Amino acid sequence: MKKTALLNSDLSSVISKMGHTDLLAIGDCGLPIPECTKRIDLALIKNIPRFIDTLKVVLLELQIEEVIIASELENENLSLYEQIKKEIENVKITVISHEELKALLKDCKAVVRTGEQTPYANIILRSGVVF
């Protein structure tokens, strides 16, 4: 049995195959996911799992060097924005429009769909290296 924290086999597989600068997105249940991008659907019911809980687990497994968020997040969902900053610590934050973020989803290895139902609860993680 797998010993590390992440038990979802689809998500674990994607993370294990990521290289430096590859992208992985985590989004709310309303985020439109391009047909060409792998969908890892964790959504069960409203707000289960939560976006922030999913992000915390992914960060246990994935080394990141940058996060990309929508500029609308800080204005429309300040509480979540502050939680994200706490979780990522000193990692670079790049802010783009929500439309630009949605356009970048086609370049992601996968989009993880959560049950989150709050505005702009979406993030793109850029993979870093552990050395």
Q: Is residue 3 part of a domain?
A: no
Kindly report the CATH number assigned to the domain that includes residue 58: 3.40.1650.10
Give me the mean pLDDT over the 3-29 stretch: 95
Structural domains counted in the chain: 1
Which of 20, 39, 92, 106 does the annotation list as catalytic?
20
10 marked ligand binding residue: no
Q: Tell me, yes or no, if 20 is annotated catalytic.
A: yes
The CA distances from residue 2 to 12, 55, 61, in Å, are 10, 19, 13
pLDDT at 67: 98
Q: Is residue 4 part of a domain?
A: no
Token digits of residue 3: 């010993």
User: Do you find a cis peptide bond into 32, omega within 30 degrees of 0?
Assistant: no
Residue 2 has pLDDT above 90, yes or no: no
pLDDT at 113: 98
Residue 1 has pLDDT above 70, yes or no: no
pLDDT digits (tens, 9 = 90+) for 79-131: 999 999 999 999 999 999 999 999 999 999 999 999 999 999 999 999 999 99
81 marked ligand binding residue: no
Structural domain of 53: 9-127
Q: In what order do the strands lie in the sheet with 38-41?
A: 38-41, 110-113, 23-27, 123-127, 64-70, 92-96
